[in-house]
Amino acid sequence: MKCTNRVVSILLIACFMLAMTGCGSAEYGMEYSRQMPSSAYMVTNSSFEEDTLASFSGELCVDSRDKITMPGVKLESSYASGLFDLNNKEILYAENIYEQLPPASLTKIMTALVALKYGNLQDEIVVTENCKITESGAQVYGFKPGDVITLDQALNVLLIYSANDVGLIIAEHIAGDVDSFNAMMNEEAKALGATNTNFCNPHGLTQDDHYTTAYDLYLIFNEVIQYERFREIIQLTSYTSVYKDAQGNQKTIEIRNTNQYFMGNVEAPENITILGGKTGTTNAAGNCLILYIKDSAGNPYISVILRADKRENLYNDMNRLLEAAGK
């Protein structure tokens, strides 16, 4: 269905709601319990004029419907999903795309956006004691206080290896402290129209009031892929670099991409090229994945899935979306 300029509720009216949500200093939380449906914010008969929307929707996929089907496409194990045609500004497939959900490490695409927008890739960062993740089982790289890395190295480890401690390192470097960085993330989200989003940390580990939607992730991802360095990083299968520890000794970074397509464990449909993406998994968020792809004619798309029940099912469902894009 061709995207129209009909109002998506969350795009315009929820800005004031951000002021009503807060993160505080809560510890990483329990199972995500926010179940506010997108319909609670839906404006089906907008009185806004077309020119009010034009500045936002002119180059974006905009559609008020939370569910859009495609013939022969049925995702079996994913709660929220979307397929966005970037050339035609069209939402091809949608399921619960305006429902607020925890995004797990898909959070890191906003962390990267803020870092790329406000940081210098060659900046040297001295890791501090504050940049520790204590949650059991959380993915970390394990940089130590006094280690010296560049912002570019940090972004590679953040996006390729999905290291949660590096999210804290970047946040402290860019904003001085994590709370200030969270505020920057939320300001960027609001500016992009991602008004059904609230970030409480830069890594995506489960925390009360840390949520977004599949549609908002499309908006954020669509913005960050405009940065060439981001596109270069997310297409890497592995990354190797050298940094210095507190004593000045050289240490080597060697990491591989967490994306199963790039690990060689899952094959994309033959008419689809995966240009990069970001994975995410927590108990609350389930299995999540966002991809930047192109079809055999070179047409670009963004595909996103949130809350798949198992990793295998996540990639099976994603391939169903990719096959639809390639037809």
* Residue-wise pLDDT tens digits, 276-309: 999 999 999 999 999 999 999 999 999 999 999 9
Backbone angles phi, psi at 86, to 5 degrees: -75, -30
In this prediction, residue 327 carries a pLDDT of 82
CA angle 273, 204, 12 (to 5 degrees): 80
Longest dimension (CA), the chain: 64
Is the pLDDT score of 4 beyond 60? Answer: no
In this prediction, residue 40 carries a pLDDT of 39
In this prediction, residue 57 carries a pLDDT of 56
Is the pLDDT score of 25 beyond 70? Answer: no
User: Tokens at residue 315, please?
Assistant: 């990639």
> CA-CA distances (angstroms) from residue 180 to 71, 136, 175, 323?
46, 25, 6, 41
| Average pLDDT across the chain, whole number | 87
> CA-CA distances (angstroms) from residue 70 to 93, 214, 323?
6, 17, 11
Q: Are 320 and 326 in contact (CB under 8 A)?
A: no
- CATH says 9-326 is which class? alpha beta
Indicate the pLDDT class of residue 46, thresholds 50, 70 and 90.
very low
**Structure confidence by residue, pLDDT tens digits, 89-140:** 999 999 999 999 999 999 999 999 999 999 999 999 999 999 999 998 999 9
**Structure confidence by residue, pLDDT tens digits, 110-119:** 999 999 999 9
Is the pLDDT score of 22 beyond 70? Answer: no
Q: Are 86 and 300 in contact (CB under 8 A)?
A: yes
Q: Supply the pTM of this predicted model.
A: 0.84
Taking alpha carbons only, the member of 131, 316, 144 closest to residue 246 is 144
H or E element, residue 312: helix 311-326
Question: DSSP string of 60-117?
Answer: S---S-SEE--TT---SSEEEEEEEETTTTEEEEEESTTS-B--GGGGHHHHHHHHHH
Is the pLDDT score of 14 beyond 80? Answer: no
Q: Are 323 and 93 in contact (CB under 8 A)?
A: no
What's the DSSP call for residue 202?
A: S
